[in-house]
A and B are shown apart, each in its own frame.
Chain A
Amino acid sequence: MKTAEEIHTLLKEKFNDKIIELNSITPVEPFIVVDPLIIHEVCFYLRDDNDLQFNSLMNLSGVDNANGEKKPEVDGSITISGGTLSVVYHLESTELKHKLKIKVFTPRENPEVQSVADVWRCADWHEREAYDLIGINFLNHPDLRRILMPYDWEAGHPLRKDYKNPEFYHGMKVPY
């Protein structure tokens, strides 16, 4: 069993500056921030290393941090430019009984994160959900399509904080 601090030291030794920081400010559980373009390799290491054995991805979720420049529109909505989106990975080792949170931050304008679908198969649909609702592009994903919204949904990604719902979808009025 290893703590987040110990895992951070291990990762830091192996990947150097691609491991950006360890955040262990309470009351939030400690998490490690990783470069989005190395996450695939890091995850393989976390899964296969004998001292870590993270064999289970409990959850993978996309987050809109909404930390860019907010511009109010005439209709009361806002548009956000700049800032970041992030992906959060919750890992567990069922063998060694330890857990880990990893975050990657990616720019809102061009959100690209490496896919981990070939590390844990369950990441496939989780990543499709994050793509569908937040709009994060997962590089080398086997089948990056929308999973919840209709395939022909053109209004964007609904869980973005500056999302605007369309008036009509296939002739059906959408607002109340």
Chain B
Amino acid sequence: MGLLDKQFSDDNIVITTAEDLFNWARLSSLWQVSFGLACCAIEMMATSASHYDFDRFGVIPRPSPRQSDVIIVSGTVTLKMALRIKRLYEQMPDPKYVISMGSCSNCGGPYWEHGYHVLKGVDRVIPVDVYVPGCPPRPEALLEGLMKLQEKIRNESLVKKSA
């Protein structure tokens, strides 16, 4: 379901539902918090750069969480950083989404047993929408994760609360 499968009844007029319009607007301009943690952040930056071009999905890094729609947790979440991530997430305006990128952020990764300083999964502090596996995930994998998130937003309802 998108905008363009609806009938054009006249020039410059598109008929759609408010729900579809909002969802389309939201999923087409996911501004991300300009924020990275570890080696995953390098892949995230590569995804933003010209070769993979995150911008074609409307993803632009914003310098403030108050202007952002999505936070990509790209890397090892230490216990020290977890408190800051929680605060960043709380500072974002609704609707807000979380992509957990890489094994560390998904479940602690290689630090799962002896990482005395690592939070074993960012979902212990903030709710995650999409998990991207990999160590680190290639830019293609992150793009796939973003498209999964877009799919999720496309099926959201204004009245029915999701997740």
Contacts and interface: CB of A to CB of B under 8 A. Distances in A.
Contacts of B124: 172-173
Nearest to A174: B79
Contacts of A148: 117
* Contact residues of B: prevailing secondary structure: loop
Given A172-B124, A176-B108, A165 B83 contact: no
Given A150-B80, A176-B108, A165 B116 contact: yes
A148 B125 CA distance: 21
Contacts of B117: 148-149, 158
A144 to B, nearest CB: 18
B85 to A, nearest CB: 11
A91 to B, nearest CB: 30
- State which size class the interface on A falls in: 10 to 19
B45 interface: no
A77 to B, nearest CB: 13
A163 B114 CA distance: 11
A173 B79 CA distance: 10
A98 B50 CA distance: 48
A170 B79 CA distance: 9
B141 interface: no
B52 interface: no
B116 A170 contact: no
Contacts of A165: 116
A4 B152 CA distance: 67
Contact of B79 (A150, A163, A176): A150
B8 interface: no
Contacts of B107: 176
A150 B79 CA distance: 8
B83 A170 contact: yes
A130 B120 CA distance: 25
A175 interface: yes
Given A149-B80, A169-B79, A172-B119, 19 more contacts: A149-B117, A158-B116, A158-B117, A165-B116, A170-B79, A170-B83, A172-B79, A172-B82, A172-B124, A173-B120, A173-B124, A174-B79, A174-B116, A174-B119, A174-B120, A176-B107, A176-B108, A176-B112, A176-B113
21 contacts: A148-B117, A150-B80, A150-B83, A158-B116, A158-B117, A163-B116, A165-B116, A169-B79, A170-B79, A172-B79, A172-B82, A172-B119, A172-B125, A173-B120, A173-B124, A174-B79, A174-B119, A174-B120, A176-B108, A176-B113, A176-B120
Interface of A: 148-150, 158, 163, 165, 169-170, 172-176
